[in-house]
Amino acid sequence: MMDVFKKNRHRVSCLLLFACLITLSCTDFIARVDLQGDWTCLRSGKIVLYCRPSGFSGVPSPASDERDSLVSQQNFYYTVICDSIQKTFDDEVVIYLYNSDEAAEHIGTSGGGHAIPKLNAIYFTYLPGQREHTDPYGIENPLMGAHELAHVISHRTLGYPGTKLMSEGYANWLDGGYAGYGIAEIIRHYRDNEPEKIMTPDRL
């Protein structure tokens, strides 16, 4: 048996070396094409923000002052939401902010985002140049608003709602609007231009 091993020792050594080279080259290849590790991180209060560094892609990434502003706004909304539902929530919430040219591929939309409350996570698109507006809390042109954070905190503290209407209704109410339009503006539009789309409570 020892003789057989000695005769094949060179062959076994070559096979092991080849396997190691293949493994290392595959890892190196994956590391080179996987850009999901290329993030700038900002942690403040209860918010952890990951966004793309400057020059990451062909569209803008958030500048330093925008990152600071977004984190400050989300910490403010965090307190407002907890006060609104009269619940204590102490977990950090992680926000992944994708550039607009990659968001659809990674999160399914390039026009906003979504929350995964069980992971305390929000996935959102960086959208500079949105419609100018001031939210109900006096914040001018918020990059994200309170909507997705409301999903995370309310679902984690109150439980998952029985209907989508309750979940989305609460988040929209707390955010004060949708896509840069205030709730009152939206209601007026449908009242004056598309009243057939306003549903009665029974239909809801």
Q: Where are the beta strands (DSSP E) in the chain?
A: 40-44, 47-51, 93-98, 113-116, 121-125, 177-178, 181-182
Q: Is 14 helix (H, G, I), strand (E, B) or coil?
A: helix
Q: What's 130's DSSP letter?
A: P
- Report the mean per-residue pLDDT for the chain: 84
Q: Is 174 helix (H, G, I), strand (E, B) or coil?
A: helix
Of 138, 170, 136, the closest CA to residue 153 belongs to 170
What are the tens digits of pLDDT across the range 108-151? 998 899 999 999 999 999 998 888 889 999 999 998 999 999 99
Q: Where does the pLDDT of residue 5 fall: very low under 50, low under 70, confident under 90, or very high at 90 and above?
A: very low
**Single-letter residue type at 119:** L
150 token code pair:
């409301």
Of 81, 101, 99, the closest CA to residue 91 belongs to 81
pTM for this structure? 0.78
What are the tens digits of pLDDT across the range 159-175? 998 888 888 888 988 89
